[in-house]
Amino acid sequence: MYTASILGVIKAYIFDANNPYRDKAMSMLRRIVVEPVFGISLAIAVIAFVTGAVNPNFWTVENWEAILRWIIALSVMAMGESFVLISGGIDLSVGSIAAASGMVLAYLIHCIGIPIPISIFLTLLFGLSIGLFHGAFVSILSPPFPQIMPAFLITLVSKIFFGGFAQAITLGWPIVLHQYRALALVSTTPILVTILLITAILSIYIQRFSILGRYVYAVGGNIDVARISGVPINKVRLFVYGYSGVCAALAGVINTSLMMTAYPGTGLGMELFAIASNAVGGVSLAGGEGMALGAIIGSFLIGLIRNSLVLTGVSPYWIESVTGIILAVAVVTDLYRRLRIR
Amino acid sequence: MYTASILGVIKAYIFDANNPYRDKAMSMLRRIVVEPVFGISLAIAVIAFVTGAVNPNFWTVENWEAILRWIIALSVMAMGESFVLISGGIDLSVGSIAAASGMVLAYLIHCIGIPIPISIFLTLLFGLSIGLFHGAFVSILSPPFPQIMPAFLITLVSKIFFGGFAQAITLGWPIVLHQYRALALVSTTPILVTILLITAILSIYIQRFSILGRYVYAVGGNIDVARISGVPINKVRLFVYGYSGVCAALAGVINTSLMMTAYPGTGLGMELFAIASNAVGGVSLAGGEGMALGAIIGSFLIGLIRNSLVLTGVSPYWIESVTGIILAVAVVTDLYRRLRIR
Amino acid sequence: MRGISRTTLAIVIIAVVVIAAVAGFLVWRYYFATPPKKMVFVVIGKSVHPYWSVVEAGVKKAGQELGVEAIFWVPSKEDVPAQLSTMDTYIAQNVAGIAIAPSDPSAATPYINKALEKGIPVITIDTDAAQSNRLAYLGTGNYRAGWLAGLLAWQCLKEKGYAKPGATVKVAILTGSLTAANSLERIAGFQHAIGNASKKDPDIGGNINIVWLGPYNDEEDAAKALSLASSVLASHPDLHAAFGVYAYDGPAWTKAMEGAGIPPGKICLIEFDVTPDNIPPVKSGYAYATVGQRQYFMGYYGVKLLYNMTKMGVEQALKNFIPGYPNNKIYDTGVDLVSTRTFEFTAPTGEKVKVTSIDDYRNLCVQLGVDPKLLLGE
Amino acid sequence: MHRAPILETVDIWKRFPGVIALKGVSIKVYENEIVGLVGENGAGKSTFLKIIGGILRKDSGKIYWMSREVEFRSPHEALENGVAYVPQDVNILGNLSLYENVFIGRENKSLFLPRDSRREIEASRKVFKELGIDIDPIIKGREVGFSIAQLTLIARAIYFKSKLIMFDEPTSGLGVIETEKLLNIMTRLRDMGVSIIFVSHKIEEVMNVADRIYVLRDGTLVSEYSREQFDLHRIVRDMVAREVKEFFPKEKVEIGNIIMEVKNLSDTVGFVKNVNFYVRRGEILGIYGIAGSGRTEMALTLIGFRPKKSGTIVIDGKTVEIRRPRDAINHGIGYLPEDWRLSLVLIMSISENISLPIINSLRVINLGGLSPIDFSSESKISRDYVNKLRVVPPDIKRRTLYLSGGNKQKVAIAKLLASRSKILILDEPTHGIDVGAKVEIRKLMCDIAKEGKAVILISSELPEVINMSDRILVMREGTIVAEFSRDEASEEKIARAAIL
Ligand SMILES: Nc1ncnc2c1ncn2[C@@H]1O[C@H](COP(=O)(O)OP(=O)(O)OP(=O)(O)O)[C@@H](O)[C@H]1O
Ligand SMILES: Nc1ncnc2c1ncn2[C@@H]1O[C@H](COP(=O)(O)OP(=O)(O)OP(=O)(O)O)[C@@H](O)[C@H]1O
Ligand SMILES: [Mg+2]
Ligand SMILES: [Mg+2]
C-alpha cells in the first residue's frame, strides 16, 4: 500500500505533463538519486535478478528483512564516513568505535545499571567525543599539512586504541544482555528502518540543502579557497568527524541490540567496508564530491552480494574472491559511465 | 665488524675538518637521513632505552634478531607501498598479495615441483603482474578521476580477491614445506639483511637519484602538471604499482620461508601496517612527499613497539591500546616538529 | 553531447529495476508451483581453517549418504555478525535443519531460538550455546580440550622436574584471538587445569609459583605469531611451558625455539589440532603432544542427527542418539591426545589421561573413516 | 619567401559537453615566424593549442607537422617531436625544486639512469638570469609566487629550443620589465629558427613581436592580419564584434574620509616589512611593484591568510582584530587573489563559487549551520553577475573547472563583487581577461568607488595603475617606498621607484 502510494506520486510527476512541479521535482530527483546511483543500481538489479533465478527464496519478505537487518549498521556508519570523505579527510576508526561503543553500552547497562535509553544516549556521546577529538587534531595540524595526513594518522591510532580497548575492558569476554528485553526493540525491523530513514534524511538534508553541507563540500574541494572565502574550516571539521563518530557509535548500538550481546570483536575492520561503500557509491576519496545516498547504495550492494552468494550456494572458500570480482565489475561499469559523462 | 667500518667512515666525515667532502657528505646525509627521520628516531631511542632498563634481555642479539626477522617483510612491503603513496595513489592489496604469493610459492614448489629459485622468481612475477594490472587500471581511469579513486577501488578489490584466493586454493589448509631445506636459507639473518639492504638501496636510488624517481614525485605532486610537462605518467604508474606488487610478493616469500609453511592467513591485513609505517615515517598520503627510508624507520618503530611491549610485560589485553598511544605520541612529536620547520 | 540524457538514464534505471523485479517474481512463482526438491541442511562453522575443512568433509559425507543437500558455510575469519547474518539468511530460507558452531554463543542465542520458533531444528557443534533452546550439542567443549592440554603440560613439567615445591614456573600462551570463544575457553581450561593440578598434586600441594605470560594475540597471522613467540623467548629464556592455542601457534613456537637455539624438549610445548603442520614438532621432540578434536564427527553426525529429526521426530532422534537423553543433551565426540608414543597417566585431579602415538592415531583415523593423509600429511 | 609550413591545421573541431569550442580552425605556421593568436575569453585559443600539444584530442580535422599528418596522443609525444606548450594555467610542481620543474620530462634519458642535478641547477640558474631574475633554483615550487612560477615555465620552454613553442598568455602575470625581456627572447628565438605561437590579451605586445595575427571568435577564425595590416582597433573589433574606444574609463569621484588605515604591518618571514598606508572612501588606490616585491604577501597578511607579526588595522576609526580571512570578510574587506586557484573551488559550480562567502546569509530560516540554503536567491545573484561580466558559457551550474582561463578569473571577480564588501583589494584583477571585459571591470571599479567604497588595485600593468588610480603606492622588497598622486604619476617615475 505504502509502495503503491509512492508509485502513484511518482507517476503523477512523470506522466502528468501539466504538473507545474514536474520539472522541478524531476530535476531534484535527478540531483538526489539518479546521478550517483545509476551504475550501481544496474549492478544491484542484475545481482537480484540472477540470485532470484537461482534461488527463488531470494524474493521472500523474510530474506529481504534479513538483508536489511544486517546492512543498516553498515549504512549508518558509511553515511557518517561520507561526511569525512567529502570534507577531504578519512576516518579509519569507525569500526573500532563501533566495537568500543557496543562494549561501553553493555557496560553502562549491565555493570553500572543505567537505564537503557540513557545508556544509549551516553554511548552516542562517547562516539561524539572521540569524533570531536579527531576533528580538533586535524584542525590543529591542517593546514599547513594536507588534511589527509593528520586524519589518517590520528584515526589509525584511534582504530588501534579503541580496538584494543574493546577487548581489554572484559579481557575479551562478551557481555550478555539477554535479560534487557527493551534493548531488543532497537533492532526490530520498523525501528531499524526508522533509524536508517532518519539518518539518511538528516545526512542528505545537511549535504544537499544546508549551509553547513555547502561548507563541507568547499573544505573537501579546496581547503585554502574555503578558508580565504571565510568558511569556518575548523568548525566544519569538528562537525564531520563528530558526526562520523556518532554514526559509528550508533552502528555499535545496533550491532549490540541485534545480538543482545556485546562482543568485543564486532565491528572491528568494518571501516574498510564503510569506506568501500562510499567509494562504490561514488563518493570521491579525494574529497569534495559524492553524497550520503551513494554510501547507502554502496553498503546495500555489499550486503546484497553477501546474501546472494549464500543463497546461490557459492563455496564459502570462494565467497571472498567472488565478492571481489562482482565488486570489480560493478565499480568498473560505474566508473566507465561516469568517465563518459565527464 | 661491518658496523665498525661504517662507523669509521661516518666518523671520518664528521670529525675530520680538513676533509673536503665533509660538508657535501653532511648535507647529503641531512637530506637523506636526518630530515624525515628525526622525530621518529627519537621515539625509537626512548622506547629502546626504557625497554632496556625494564628488561635487560632487550639488548641481547637474539632479541634483535627476533625483531629484525619480523620487520623485514613489513619493511620490504612498506618500501613498495611508499612508491605508490608518493605517486599519489594507494595500494590496499599488498597484504593479500603477500598471502597469495606465499601460497603460490608453496604450490609451485610442493605441488608442481618447480625448483625453489625458479619458484621464487615466478612468485615475484606473480606479484609483478598483479601490480601492473593495478597500474594499468589506474592509468586508464585517471585522469579524469583523481588517482586515489580508481587506486583505492581496484586495490580494495584485489585485497578481497587475493585474500580469498589464498584461502581457496587449499581450502584453508596450510602447505607444509619442511622438507625443502634450501627455502629456509632465505630467512637466515644474513640473507634477510641482504634483502633489506638491496631493496632499500634500490628504492632510495630510484626515488632520490634517478629520473624515474623525479617522475614519481611529480605524478604525486600534481598529475596534470606532470602530464603537461611531458612526464610519461602511465609508465610511471605501471612502475610504482608493479614495484609495490613485487615487494609484496617478496614479503610473502620471506614470510613463507620464515615459517617453512605457507598459511593462507599470513600477511592478510598487513597493508594497514605497511601504510601506517609510511605515514609514521613521513611519507605524505596526499602524494609527492616522503621517502623509502621513512617507510623502513616507520616499520622498525612498529616492530619495536610490539617487541618492547612483550618484553616490558604489558598485559596482552592492553597491548593494542598501548601501541596506539605510543604511536600517537611518536607521530604527534614528529608532526609538531615538522610544523615548526615549515 | 552528453551521450544519453539524464532523464533517459532515470527511465532506464526504473525500467531495469522493474524488469528485474517482475522477472524475479515470475521465476519465484514458477518455482513455487513445483514441489521443493531436496531437503537442505546447513552447517555453519567459524572460520576458514583446516579444522573446519575436516568438519566439512564429514558434512559432505553425511549429505552423500543420506541423499540430501548438506551445505557447509564458514566466514573467512571469525566474524560474529557475518556468521549470524548468514544464519539469519538460512532461517529466512526455511532450511530443514541448522547446525551451528557459534563464534559467540550468547550472541547466537536469539537466532537459535528464532529458528526453533519457526520450526527449524537447531543443534550446536564444536561450541555450545547452553542458554539457548538448541536441541543438542555435539562436540567436546573447547574448555575440556584446553583442560586436557593443561593436564598434559603439568605432566610434562613434572617429568622434566620443573614442577618442584617452591619453584617458579613460567607458562606462555599464544593465540589467534582474544575474543573468539574457542580461544577464550581453551585458555581458561588450560589455566584451570594447571592451577588445579598444582593444588591437588601431592608432591606440591599448591606450593608453586606459576607465572602466566600472555595470552599474546597474533591475529591469526602465523608470521606475527612467530615474531611474538621470538620476543617472548628473548625476554624469558627460562620459559618452562608454552601453549599454542590455534593450529599454527605450536609450529610458531617450534620455529621460535629453533631460532633462539633452544634444544627440543627443554620447554614443554603443547600444541592444538592435528594438521600436517602440527606433526613435525611432535616428531622432532619440540612439542610434548598435540590435542586433536574429532571434528569430523561433528559434521558427520550433525547432519545425520538433523536428518533423523525431520524423519522420525526430534524426541525420537535424540533418544536414539544421545545416551541419557532427555537429562543429557550433550554428545561427546571425544578428544585425541597425540604424541610420539602411546602412554597413559593419572593426573593429580584423578583423571586417567590416554595419549596415543602418531601411528595409533593413523589407524584410528582409518577405522573412523577419515583420510589420515588429510590430518597427518605424508 | 615562405616554404612549406612547419605546422598546418585543417578544419579542427572540438566539442565539449554543452559548448563547441572550435568550429573548423585552419591555420599555418611557417619557420622563423611568430604567430599571434588573439580572441575573447572562451574563444577557444587554449583549446586549440592544447590539441596541437597533445593535451586534448580533436574531434575532427587534420594536423600536419612538418608536412606529415600527426596526432600527438600525449604531451610527452609532442615534446619528443619538438612541439612545446607553455600553459596558461600557470602551475608548477610545488613539491619539486625550480630547476627540476625546468628539466622535468625533458631529460631524454632512460628512466633508470641517475639525474644530473648539478648540471641542471647551473643551467637553470643561467636561464633564470637571462629572464632577469636572480633566484636560487633549488627552492621548491610551492615557495614562489605567481610570477616566478610563470617565469619558470617560460624558462623551461626557452631552454629547450623546440621547433615550435606555443606561449599561452605568458605575460599575464608579469611586470613590464619581465615582459620586455620575454618579448626580446621571443624575437631572438625566432631568429634562431624557432617558430612561436603567441596568445595574449595584451594586443599591443602581440603587435610588437608577431609577424602575423589570427583572430579567433567563438571557435571560428574571423580574420588574419600580416604585419603591415596591424591595427589595434580593427583587431579588437574583430575580437569582440563591437567598437571599444576608451580602454581606461576612469571617472572622477568625490573622495571621502579614511575608511581603512594599516599601520606597521609585518609578517613572520620578512616578505612584508612595516607597511603603512591608508585608503579613503571613493578612492582607487593603486599599488605597483615588480615581481616578488611583496604586494600579494602584504594583502594576504592583511586579510589574515598568512601569519602576521605585527600591525594594526583601523577601519572607520575603530581598531579591528583580523586573525583569519573570515574576520576580514566580516569587517567588510574583500580580497581577489592574484591566482584564481586561490579563489575558486574548481569542482564546484559557478553559482556555488560565487555564493560561497555569502552563503551564510542566503538562508530561508535561521537554524545556524543547518539553515536551508535559499537556492533561488543564490541562482539569481549568480546569474546577475554572470551576465554582467559576460561569462561564457553563461551556465551557472557548470563546474568552474571547465571554464576557460579568463572566464575563471571573471567568476572570481563575480565572487568578490557578490560579497558587497566596502573595501576591495583586487590583486591583478584583469590578468587573463580579454580587452572588452577589461574595460567592463575597470568601469565596475569606478562604480564601486562611486558608491563610497574603497578599491585597492594591485597590478603589474603600469598603464592600468596609472590611468585608474587616484593615488599610487610603490612597493619594493616588502615595504612601501614611494607614493604619487594621480597628477604627479608617470610611467617613468613609478618604474624607477619600483626598481631602485
Ligand atoms: N575541459 C573542458 N570541458 C568543458 N568545456 C571546456 C573545457 N575546456 C574548455 N572548455 C570550454 O571551451 C571553450 C573554449 O575555451 P578555451 O580555454 O579554449 O578559451 P580561451 O580562448 O583560451 O579563453 P581565455 O582567453 O579565457 O583563456 C570555453 O567555452 C570553455 O568553457
Ligand atoms: N628574485 C627572487 N628571489 C627570491 N625570491 C623571490 C624572487 N622573486 C620572488 N621571490 C619570492 O616569490 C614570492 C612571490 O613572488 P611573485 O613574483 O609571485 O610575486 P608577485 O605576486 O608577482 O609580486 P608581489 O609579491 O609584488 O605581488 C615572494 O614571496 C618572494 O619570496
Ligand atoms: Mg586560454
Ligand atoms: Mg602579486
Residues A95-132 have pLDDT tens digits of 999 999 999 999 999 999 999 999 999 999 999 999 99
C-chain residue closest to B95, CA distance: C221
Which among D356, D362, D371 is the nearest to A229, CB-wise? D356
Number of domains present in the structure of chain C: 2
Residue D99: the pLDDT is 93
Instruction: Write the CB contacts of D181 (distance below 8 Å, at least 6 apart in sequence).
Output: D130, D131, D132
D173 CA closest ligand 2 atom index:
22
Q: Is residue C26 part of a domain?
A: no
pLDDT for residue A20: 46
pLDDT of residue A1: 46
Task: Tell how far the Cα of D346 is from the centroid of ligand 1, in angstroms.
Answer: 14
Give one DSSP letter per residue of D253-269, joined into a string. Answer: ----SEEEEEEEEEESS
> Which of the listed residues D133, D148, D303 should we mutate to test ligand 2's pocket, taking the one with most ligand atoms within 8 A of CB?
D148
Give a yes or no: residue C73 inside a domain: yes
Nearest chain B Cα distance for residue A13, angstroms:
34
What is the model's pLDDT at position C17?
67
Which candidate in C6, C44, C71, C113 is best for mutational testing of the A interface (most A CBs within 10 A)?
C6
Enclosing domain of residue C161: 142-293+341-376
> Which residues, listed in sequence order, are joined to residue D472 by a DSSP beta bridge?
D286, D484
Rama region for D169: left / alpha / beta (φ>0; ψ in -120 to 50; rest): left
Find out whether C272 and C244 touch, Cβ atoms under 8 Å.
Answer: yes
Mean pLDDT score, C255-271: 90
Judge contact between D14 and D51, C-beta under 8 A. Answer: yes
Q: Is residue C30 part of a domain?
A: no
Closest residue in chain A to residue B171, using alpha carbons only: A317
Q: What is the pLDDT along chain B (342 residues), one digit of tens a residue?
A: 454 555 555 554 445 545 545 555 555 555 555 555 667 788 888 888 998 888 888 888 888 888 888 789 999 999 999 999 999 999 999 999 999 999 999 999 999 999 999 999 999 999 999 999 999 999 988 888 888 888 988 999 999 999 989 988 888 888 888 889 899 888 888 999 999 999 999 999 999 999 999 999 999 999 999 999 999 999 999 999 999 999 999 999 999 998 888 988 888 888 988 998 998 888 888 888 888 998 999 999 988 988 888 888 888 888 888 888 888 888 887 777 776 655
Q: How far apart are the first and last CA of chain B?
A: 40
Say which CATH number the domain at C130 has: 3.40.50.2300
Element (H, E) at B311: helix B292-311
What digits encode the pLDDT tens for the residues C109-162?
989 999 999 999 999 998 888 888 999 999 888 888 999 999 999 999 988 888
Question: Does the beta carbon of D393 sit less than 6 angstroms from any atom of ligand 1?
Answer: yes
Q: Where do we find the cell 597590478?
A: D459
CB atoms within 10 A of CB D280: 18
| pLDDT score recorded for residue C378 | 65
Ligand 1 proximity of D19 Cβ (cutoff 6 Å): yes
Do residues C116 and C198 both lie within one domain?
A: no
Going by the DSSP 8-state scheme, the letter that residue A173 receives in this structure is: -
d(CA D468, CA B236): 50
Phi then psi dihedrals of residue B177, to 5 deg: -125, 20
List, in order, residues 6 or more apart from A113 with CB less than 8 Å away.
none
The C-alpha cell that represents A150 in the structure block: 593528520
Q: Please tell me which residue of chain C has the smallest CA distance to D14.
A: C1
pLDDT at residue A34 tops 70:
no
Residue D281 CA to ligand 2 centre (angstroms): 30
**Taking CB atoms and an 8 Å limit, are B228 and D75 in contact across chains?**
yes
Q: Helix, strand, or coil here: B102?
A: helix
DSSP secondary structure string for all residues of C253-310: HHHHHHHHTPPTTSSEEEEES--TTTHHHHHHTSEEEEEEE-HHHHHHHHHHHHHHHH
Same domain, C205 and C315: no
d(CA D187, CA B176): 75
Domain membership flag for residue C7: no
CA–CA distances in Å: residue B8 to residues B11, B14, B26, B244: 5, 10, 15, 35
Q: Which residues surround ligand 4, an ion (CB under 5 A)?
A: D 296, 338
Helical H runs in D389-483? 405-418, 435-450, 462-468
Interchain proximity B317–A163, CB inside 8 Å: no
Residue D21: CB within 6 Å of ligand 1? yes
Is pLDDT of A8 > 80? Answer: no
Q: Is residue C18 part of a domain?
A: no
- Neighbouring C-beta atoms of residue C23, cutoff 10 Å: 15
Q: Name which residue sits closest to atom 29 of ligand 1, judged by CA.
A: D42
CB-CB under 8 Å, A258 with C81: yes
Whole-prediction pTM value? 0.88
Mean pLDDT of A315-320: 82
Domain ranges of chain A: 38-341
| In a domain? residue C303 | yes
CB contact, 8 Å: D10 with chain B? no
pLDDT in the model for residue C3: 42
Q: Is D56 on the interface with B (CB under 8 A)?
A: no
Query: Does residue C19 lie in a domain region?
Result: no
The complex's ipTM works out to 0.87
- Digit-by-digit pLDDT tens for chain D (500 residues) are 457 899 999 999 999 888 899 999 999 999 889 999 999 998 999 999 999 999 999 999 999 999 899 999 889 999 989 999 999 887 899 999 999 999 998 887 788 888 888 899 999 999 998 888 888 999 999 888 888 888 898 888 888 888 999 999 998 878 888 888 889 989 988 998 899 999 999 898 999 999 999 999 999 999 999 989 888 888 988 888 777 778 888 888 888 899 999 999 999 888 899 999 999 999 999 999 988 888 999 999 999 999 999 999 999 999 999 999 999 999 999 999 988 889 999 999 999 999 999 998 888 888 888 889 989 999 999 999 999 888 988 889 999 988 998 999 999 999 999 988 999 999 999 888 888 888 888 998 999 999 999 999 999 888 899 999 999 999 999 999 999 998 888 888 898 888 87
Ligand 2: atom nearest CA of D145 is 18
* Residues with a CB atom less than 6 Å from ligand 2: D 133-135, 144-148, 271, 289, 291-297, 338
Chosen for mutation from B55, B59, B105, B173 (greatest number of chain C CBs closer than 10 Å) is B173
Report the relative pairing of strands D19-29 and D7-16 from DSSP bridges: antiparallel
A280 touching B, CB under 8 A? yes
Atom from ligand 1 closest to the CA of residue D45: 21
CB contact under 8 Å between B210 and D109, yes or no, is no
- Domains of chain D and any CATH numbers: 7-240 (3.40.50.300), 258-499 (3.40.50.300)
**Rounded to whole angstroms, how far apart are CA atoms B186 and B69?**
11
Of B210, B226, B229, the CB nearest to D112: B210
Alpha carbon distances (Å) from D257 to B185, C350, D254, D422, D468: 86, 105, 10, 13, 19
Residue A83 has what pLDDT?
97
Q: In the structure grid, which three cell numbers stand for residue C320, read together?
A: 536414539
Residue A149, C-alpha cell as written in the block: 595526513
- CB of D394 within 6 A of ligand 1: the answer is no
The gap from C-alpha D227 to its chain's centroid, in whole angstroms, comes to 27
**3-state class (DSSP) for residue D474:** strand
pLDDT tens string C285-313: 999 999 988 888 889 999 999 999 998 88
Contact A339 B272 (CB under 8 A): no
| Cα dihedral sign, B284-B287-B289-B294 | positive
CATH topology of domain B38-341: ABC transporter involved in vitamin B12 uptake, BtuC (1.10.3470)
Confidence of residue A30 (pLDDT cuts 50, 70, 90): low
Regarding the beta carbon of D88 and ligand 1, being less than 6 Å apart is answered yes
* Residue ID of nearest Cα to ligand 2 atom 2: D135
Confidence of residue C14 (pLDDT cuts 50, 70, 90): low
C167-196: per-residue pLDDT in tens?
899 999 999 888 888 888 899 999 999 999
Contacts of B90 (CB under 8 A, 6+ apart): B84, B148, B151, B152, B155, B275, B285
CA pair distance D462, B185, nearest whole angstrom? 74
Query: Among residues D82, D113, D119, D87, which one has the least CA distance to residue D100?
Result: D119
Confidence of residue A224 (pLDDT cuts 50, 70, 90): very high
C206 pLDDT tier (thresholds 50, 70, 90): confident
Taking CB atoms and an 8 Å cutoff, what residues of chain B touch A164? 317-324
Pair C194, C222 in one domain: yes
Cell numbers representing residue D340 in the block: 584564481
Give the per-residue pLDDT at D64. 94
Is A7's pLDDT higher than 80?
no
